[in-house]
Structure 1
Amino acid sequence: MLLINDPEGAPPGPKVVAIGSFDGLHLGHQHLLHLAQQEAHTRHLPLLVYTFDPPSKVFTKGEGFLTDLAEKIELLRALGVEIALIVPFNATFAQRSQEEFLGDLRGLEAQLLFVGEDFRFGKGRAGGLEDLRRVAPTQVVPLLELEGQPVKSSRIRELLKEGDVAAVHRLLGRPYTARGIVGEGDKLGRTLGFPTANIEVAPLKLLPMGIFAVRVRSLHGQHGGMAYVGYRPVVAGQSLRFEVHLFEFSGDLYGEELGVEFVARLRQDLPLSGLEELKAQLSRDAQAARAALERSR
């Protein structure tokens, strides 16, 4: 897959172009890209995906994002996209007029455009479907529905806030994943018999709150485990913590990048009376996490 960050870097020649933020690359996004790929193959043209980093709503509204840049690139590559144009969405780009955006599409030699039904572009979201059709025929892909509701990134964000990672899995077509570097912790988990890796994720990465069964990918392979996302009320914590305990693992993970797949939510954060009660609860959590991981195989 060819990666570019400026329309001028695209190879010459006509193309099919799919446009969108594609945050999460959920089943609706995958459906749109599959239709675009089919048409590109029929026309013997390459498919170019025009997307943004960060997604526009993250920049303009401060909303958290579902997929970081590296994960988005991995997913686009896995979907067979030939060219990915990932434009930095910053203050300058947000002020671009709809005509400037249309100029990009003309420069890309777009022969056919694919967008979702709610796609808008340009400063103040002034540009719409009729404007796109001035450049090239435009295929508007209706929102995909699952369980009677549209599959949208905004819906997935709400489900994550509720901790419903099972529903998020269904909408994404895969487990929700967070990745980050293991940093120094206070080693409280080790004293309780449950050593944890303290993971530092990108500042606006959305994390579900609570205790979860997880699968963790590291340089040492894949391990089952349990994760905690919260403020640690038992020890009067004030900053959000993302901690993972790996089953059957005793190595050193400091400085390593971990990828964490959220398999099932075990419970919400509980106001426990002290460290002894916390230790007992962690034992119950570990048993529940192992059972959830076994069921998910």
Structure 2
Amino acid sequence: MKTYQHPTQRPHTDTVIAIGSFDGVHLGHQSLLNTLIAEARMHHVPSVVYTFDPPTRVLIQGVEFLSTLPEKLALLKQLGIDEVIAVPFTREFAARPKEEFLNDLSLLRPKTVVVGQDFGFGKNRSGGLDDLRTITPELIALPMLSLDGEAVKSTRIRGFLNSGQVEDAHQLLGREYEAMGVVVHGDKRGRLIGFPTANVAVPEGKLLPKGVYFVEFCWDNQSFSGIANVGKRPTVEGEDVRLEVHLLDFQGDLYGQEVTVKFKRFIRHEQKFAGLDALKAQLDLDRQTALAWME
């Protein structure tokens, strides 16, 4: 899959394009992108996703994002997208008139444009579907996907994750929620009580569900089961939010390695214990819970 930051960077050939933030690449996005791929195959041209980094709501509304750009690119590649144009989304870009945005899109020579029915663009979202029709012979505007009578959208997924309801988020994502990061050195307190952890550093702004979870830890084409704690570690007076994973079936040095943590099931909320002995007792219970789920 080829990636660019602007339409001028790719060859001037015909395409079929889909436009959107695609934060999380959830089931609704996947439905739209499957339409994109089918149209591109019918026209025998590349399928191109025109997206924004960061997602528009992250910049404009200050929400946390569901997928970093590397995570989004990996998901789009898995779906079979041919090319991605990931435009750096800044306040200056958001303030551009709709005509400039249309000029950029026209460089892609789209035979078909695929968007959601509510898609708007340009300063104050002044551009809409009728404007897109001026640059393409065919516009496909899809309604929002519903599941069990409710819309599938990133806002709902954020709400589930912020409440620890990772399994509900899974239903809308079509997969487990995941976080990619690099294992870095931490305080090494866990090993003192028999629970060594991998401290996974993720990009600032990535939404992490707070609490304790049963997770799948993926590294080097291998996967291991673990218990993740996401929070400030109140028992040891921690101040910053961290993602720490105790691996149940792996021992070794992972420092500097890029890993993916998949949140499978909620175990409990983070809490402050009277001391390390009380914390260790609870971690023993958490481990028994996770081991039972491994069977």
- Give the TM interval when normalised to the shorter protein: over 0.9
**Pairing 1:21–2:49 present:** no
Percent identity, aligned pairs only? 48
Partners of 1:117 and 1:140 within 8 A in 2: yes
Counterparts of 1:87-98 in structure 2, within 5 Å, are 87-98=87-98
2:285 corresponding residue in structure 1: 284
CA-atom RMSD, angstroms?
1.4
2:162 corresponding residue in structure 1: 161
SS in 2 for 1:199: strand
Amino acid at match of 1:234: T
**Pairing 1:224–2:225 present:** yes
Partners of 1:3 and 1:83 within 8 A in 2: yes
Partners of 2:233 and 2:272 within 8 A in 1: no
Structure 1: 4+ residue segments shifted above 3 A: none
SS in 1 for 2:208: coil
1:192 corresponding residue in structure 2: 193
Question: What 5-or-longer segments of structure 1 have no aligned partner?
Answer: none
SS in 1 for 2:124: helix
1:265 corresponding residue in structure 2: 266
Partners of 1:213 and 1:290 within 8 A in 2: no
TM-score when normalising by structure 1: 0.95
2:133 corresponding residue in structure 1: 133
Partners of 1:264 and 1:292 within 8 A in 2: no
* Number of residue pairs matched by the alignment: 294
Counterparts of 1:85-124 in structure 2, within 5 Å, are 85-124=85-124
Q: Distance in 1 between matches of 2:74 and 2:206?
A: 17
Partners of 1:213 and 1:293 within 8 A in 2: no
Amino acid at match of 2:71: E
Q: Distance in 2 between matches of 1:8 and 1:209?
A: 41
TM-score when normalising by structure 2: 0.96
Partners of 2:216 and 2:263 within 8 A in 1: yes
SS in 1 for 2:195: coil
Q: Distance in 2 between matches of 1:220 and 1:41?
A: 31
Question: What 5-or-longer segments of structure 2 have no aligned partner?
Answer: none
Q: CA deviation at 1:277?
A: 1.2
Q: Distance in 1 between matches of 2:188 and 2:9?
A: 48
Partners of 1:36 and 1:114 within 8 A in 2: yes
Q: CA deviation at 1:174?
A: 0.9
Higher deviation after alignment, 234-243 or 213-222: 213-222
SS in 2 for 1:269: coil
1:201 corresponding residue in structure 2: 202
Q: CA deviation at 1:220?
A: 7.9
Q: Distance in 2 between matches of 1:265 and 1:288?
A: 11
Deviations 1:4-31 (A, max 9, x none): 1111122223221111000100010010
Q: Distance in 2 between matches of 1:89 and 1:77?
A: 21
